């Protein structure tokens, strides 16, 4: 394999065939400690399926998933497709399979920025609030690895930026690895350490800068996508990540 | 009030309350998991069980229980192969079971040689044996007939209610977690397959319990409607289950009362009472 064997969770030649259709074709993927790995690809590329096989929710047709022993995973699934049918408040949602103390719940909700929603009914949350609640639920497991399936799907643009900021902060404060699936290209590129372009098979992969130069990437997303990412990277350089130290940020 | 001293109505009330006790919580899971069609499928499998039971001269409730549990097994097997969506599987199994049920019940009725359907008067009352009941069973099992509830049935129904309630309490956390999000629950270590199989089996037991009072056509209604009404007033999964059981019990009592007073069939009267409760909770100011 290309990478050192210090991965927490790996896919090796992961192949998944459903009704004769090859959804995943010999996919290799590693997630290491403290690393953000983002899987991007068009609809139907098998992104969600890849997440599901990596979590052991779906059996592989061939290949293997290697999971470090006693790895704790926090999973944030795609937003609920329609209304939340079970009546419960946020606090209860966080206690479904764990028994966290009130204090743990409060601290975690504070971290994800929705401490004020503790007693709120889950059905009344907005898309972004629900994602933050689910993120808190995942964090309560004290995960070594966070797995996020399309975390910003039902979130508006502003919420999206903030949610990615939050995810990036979580990586810093918890030191956990993050495996994330997304189809919006521009945001993903900036925060990821490793980007995997999936379309059944892995089309191309690498650091965010390298991947967007890959001809396979252009083939997959089209030339307009490259422009969009380039624009974002440029913007990013100027406004958020000064080349010197952060202290000099406002002296430009 | 005199109905309370009539053994037929006593048996109806006793078994009806046991049915309500389990129909409420089971209905909640059906509502949470959007499985109303599963209830219908179980009822159709129940009809097949009635037909087979009549042909083999075993108790029709026992027959219905066996076939609906078998249906659950087939459903779980087909589902594990993941080739068709659940509603497609249910649509297929449901109508296959219905067709087989209609044929088997029809054949059994002809075997018996007396296909008298309309004979449902008061003299059917006390001491009415299961064997006698099988003659016009094909109509009664569809629409329900409280006259057919024997003392043995009442005891069996209460044992079943205690069993179902015990399983629900035992698996409560897992059942709720799976209802909220199955994949998330599985990723967090819940054995969702086992929980789902257990749920389907207790739903089959509950369906069989309700068969004689409600009739197969209306069983799902007694599960779904009180739960839907409870959703309006509940603030937690537990409160919804308790409200649903309470609403189902009120519907059973009111429906039996209406049936006793006006002579309409108990099952439809119970369902209409449940629907009335739903309407009342809909216009009442919303809780949470």
Would you kindly state where each structural domain of chain A is located, as residue ranges? 9-72+143-243
pLDDT computed for residue B139 by the predictor: 61
Give the CA distances from residue B110 to residues A50, A163, B44, in Å, rounded to whole numbers and listed in that order. Answer: 57, 68, 20
SS (HEC) of B47-69: HHHHHHHHHHCCCHHHHHHHHHH
Question: Could you give the 3-state DSSP secondary structure of residue A158?
Answer: helix
Burial category of A61 from C-beta neighbours within 10 Å (exposed 0-12, middle 13-18, buried 19 and up): middle
The span from the CA of B23 to the CA of B221, in Å, is 9
- Total domains, chain B: 1
Cβ <8 Å between B236 and A92: yes
Within a domain: residue B147? yes
Does A194 contact B at CB distance below 8 Å? no
The span from the CA of B214 to the CA of A90, in Å, is 38
- pLDDT-derived band at B280 (thresholds 50, 70, 90) equals very high
From chain B, pick out residues whose CB is under 8 angstroms from the CB of A89: 235-236
pLDDT computed for residue B133 by the predictor: 43
Work out the minimum CA distance from B17 to partner chain A, whole angstroms: 25
Mean pLDDT for B131-143 is: 58
Instruction: Name the CATH code of domain A9-72+143-243 (choices 3.30.310.10, 3.40.50.300, 1.20.1250.20, 3.30.2020.10).
Output: 3.40.50.300
Cβ <8 Å between B184 and A85: no
pLDDT at A236 over 60: no
**B201 or A159: which leads in pLDDT:** B201
Chain B positions with Cβ closer than 8 Å to A:
31-34, 82-83, 173, 176-177, 179-181, 183-190, 231, 234-237, 239-240, 288
Mean pLDDT for B108-125 is: 52
Give the CA distances from residue A216 to residues A50, A231, B173, in Å, rounded to whole numbers and listed in that order. Answer: 20, 20, 47
Residue B149, both tokens = 């509830």
Does A96 contact B at CB distance below 8 Å? yes
| Alpha helices for A84-175 (secondary structure H) | 90-94, 102-111, 127-139, 157-174
Within a domain: residue B234? no
Largest CA distance in chain B: 58
The residue among B92, B84, B85, B76 whose CA lies nearest residue B41 is B92
pLDDT computed for residue B148 by the predictor: 83
The answer for residues whose C-beta is within 8 angstroms of residue B54's C-beta and 6 or more apart is B60, B63, B104, B105, B108, B109, B111, B112, B134, B137, B138
Contact A143, A31 (CB under 8 A): no
| Site from A97, A149, A151 to mutate, B interface, most B CB atoms within 10 angstroms | A97
Mean pLDDT for B109-133 is: 47
**A84 or A105: which leads in pLDDT:** A105
The span from the CA of B134 to the CA of B126, in Å, is 16
| Site from B184, B195, B281 to mutate, A interface, most A CB atoms within 10 angstroms | B184
Q: What are the φ/ψ torsions at residue B134 (nearest 5 degrees)?
A: -70, -20
Domain that holds residue B128: 2-215
**B115 or A120: which leads in pLDDT:** A120
Contact A97, B173 (CB under 8 A): yes
The residue among B154, B146, B131, B150 whose CA lies nearest residue B54 is B131
pLDDT computed for residue A116 by the predictor: 94
Mean pLDDT for A137-151 is: 92
Within a domain: residue B279? no
Q: What are the φ/ψ torsions at residue A139 (nearest 5 degrees)?
A: -65, -30
Residues of chain A numbered 125-144 and touching chain B (CB < 8 Å): 134, 141
A19, A73, A77 member nearest B181 (Cβ): A77
Give the pairing type, strands A145-149 and A73-76. Answer: parallel
B154 C-beta neighbours (distance < 10 Å), count: 18
A75, A89, A92 member nearest B184 (Cβ): A75
| Site from B178, B180, B192, B228 to mutate, A interface, most A CB atoms within 10 angstroms | B180
Give the CA distances from residue A117 to residues A131, A136, B13, in Å, rounded to whole numbers and listed in that order. Answer: 13, 12, 44
Domain of residue B126, CATH code? 1.10.3470.10
Within a domain: residue B151? yes
Mean pLDDT for B97-109 is: 88
- pLDDT-derived band at B67 (thresholds 50, 70, 90) equals very high
Contact B41, B97 (CB under 8 A): yes
From chain A, pick out residues whose CB is under 8 angstroms from the CB of B237: 86-88, 92
Q: How many CA atoms lie within 13 A of B242 on its CB side?
A: 7
Mean pLDDT of chain A: 83
From chain A, pick out residues whose CB is under 8 angstroms from the CB of B187: 55, 57, 73, 75, 77, 147
A19, A55, A88 member nearest B187 (Cβ): A55
Mean pLDDT for B139-153 is: 83
Please tell me which residue of chain B has the smallest CA distance to A99: B173
The span from the CA of A148 to the CA of A156, in Å, is 17
**A215 or A146: which leads in pLDDT:** A146
pLDDT computed for residue B272 by the predictor: 96
pLDDT in tens, A117-142: 999 999 888 888 998 999 999 999 99
| Site from B183, B232, B242, B287 to mutate, A interface, most A CB atoms within 10 angstroms | B183
Within a domain: residue B273? no
pLDDT in tens, B15-42: 999 999 999 999 999 999 888 889 889 9
Could you tell me how many CB contacts below 8 A there are between chain A and chain B?
A: 67
Contact B222, B229 (CB under 8 A): no
Mean pLDDT for B205-230 is: 92
Mean pLDDT for B201-220 is: 91
Query: Backbone dihedral region of B144: left (phi > 0), alpha (psi from -120 to 50 degrees) or beta?
Result: left
pLDDT computed for residue B190 by the predictor: 94
Contact B227, B30 (CB under 8 A): yes
Contact A73, A145 (CB under 8 A): yes
Percent share of chain B, pLDDT over 70: 88
The span from the CA of A43 to the CA of B13, in Å, is 55
The residue among B190, A214, B210, B60 whose CA lies nearest residue A206 is A214
Give the CA distances from residue B126 to residues A170, B5, B129, B149, B154, in Å, rounded to whole numbers and listed in that order. Answer: 70, 12, 9, 9, 13
- pLDDT-derived band at A225 (thresholds 50, 70, 90) equals low
Does A5 contact B at CB distance below 8 Å? no
pLDDT at A106 over 90: yes
From chain B, pick out residues whose CB is under 8 angstroms from the CB of A97: 173, 177, 185, 188-190
pLDDT in tens, B153-179: 999 999 999 999 999 999 999 999 999
pLDDT computed for residue A233 by the predictor: 54
pLDDT in tens, A155-195: 777 788 888 889 889 998 998 999 999 877 766 767 788 98
């Amino acid at each position: 394999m290309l990478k050192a064997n210090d991965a927490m969770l790996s896919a090796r030649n992961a192949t998944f065939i459903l009704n004769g259709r090859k959804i995943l074709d010999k996919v290799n993927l590693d997630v290491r400690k403290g690393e953000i790995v983002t899987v991007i690809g068009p609809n139907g590329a098998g992104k969600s399926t890849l997440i599901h096989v990596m979590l052991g929710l779906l059996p592989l047709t061939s290949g293997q998933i290697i999971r470090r022993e006693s790895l704790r995973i926090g999973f944030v699934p795609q937003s609920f497709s329609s209304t939340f049918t079970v009546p419960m408040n946020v606090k209860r949602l966080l206690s479904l399979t764990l028994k966290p103390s009130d204090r743990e719940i409060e601290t975690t909700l504070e971290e994800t920025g929705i401490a004020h929603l503790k007693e709120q009914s889950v059905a009344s949350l907005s898309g972004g609030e629900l994602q933050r609640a689910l993120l808190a639920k995942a964090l309560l497991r004290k995960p070594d690895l966070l797995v996020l399936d399309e975390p910003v799907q039902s979130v508006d643009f502003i919420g999206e930026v903030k949610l990615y900021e939050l995810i990036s902060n979580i990586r810093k404060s918890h030191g956990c690895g993050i495996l994330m699936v997304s189809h919006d290209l521009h945001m993903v590129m900036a925060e990821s350490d490793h980007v995997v372009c999936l379309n059944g098979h892995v089309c191309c992969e690498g650091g965010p800068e390298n991947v967007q130069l890959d001809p396979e990437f252009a083939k997959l997303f089209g030339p307009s996508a490259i422009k969009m990412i380039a624009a974002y990277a440029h913007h990013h350089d100027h406004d958020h990540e000064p080349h010197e130290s952060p202290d000099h940020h406002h002296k430009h | 009030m005199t109905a309370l001293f009539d053994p037929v109505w006593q048996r109806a009330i006793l078994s009806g309350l046991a049915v309500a006790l389990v129909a409420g919580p089971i209905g909640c899971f059906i509502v949470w998991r959007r499985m109303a069609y599963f209830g219908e499928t179980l009822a159709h499998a129940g009809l097949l069980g009635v037909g087979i039971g009549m042909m083999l001269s075993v108790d029709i409730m026992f027959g219905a229980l066996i076939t609906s549990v078998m249906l659950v097994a087939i459903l779980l097997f087909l589902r594990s192969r993941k080739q068709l969506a659940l509603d497609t599987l249910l649509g297929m199994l449901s109508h296959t079971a219905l067709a087989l049920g209609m044929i088997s019940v029809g054949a059994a009725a002809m075997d018996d040689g007396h296909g008298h359907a309309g004979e449902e008067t008061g003299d059917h009352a006390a001491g009415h044996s299961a064997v006698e009941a099988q003659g016009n069973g094909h109509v009664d099992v569809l629409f329900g007939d409280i006259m057919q509830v024997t003392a043995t049935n009442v005891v069996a129904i209460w044992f079943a209610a205690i069993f179902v309630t015990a399983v629900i309490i035992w698996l409560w956390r897992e059942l709720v977690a799976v209802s909220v999000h199955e994949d998330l629950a599985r990723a967090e270590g819940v054995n969702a397959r086992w929980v789902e199989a257990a749920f389907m089996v207790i739903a089959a037991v509950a369906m069989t319990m309700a068969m004689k009072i409600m009739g197969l056509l209306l069983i799902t209604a007694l599960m779904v409607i009180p739960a839907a009404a409870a959703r309006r007033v509940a603030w937690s999964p537990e409160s919804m289950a308790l409200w649903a059981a309470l609403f189902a019990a009120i519907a059973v009592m009111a429906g039996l009362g209406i049936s006793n007073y006006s002579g309409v069939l108990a099952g439809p009267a119970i369902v209409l009472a449940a629907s009335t409760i739903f309407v009342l909770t809909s216009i009442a100011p919303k809780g949470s």
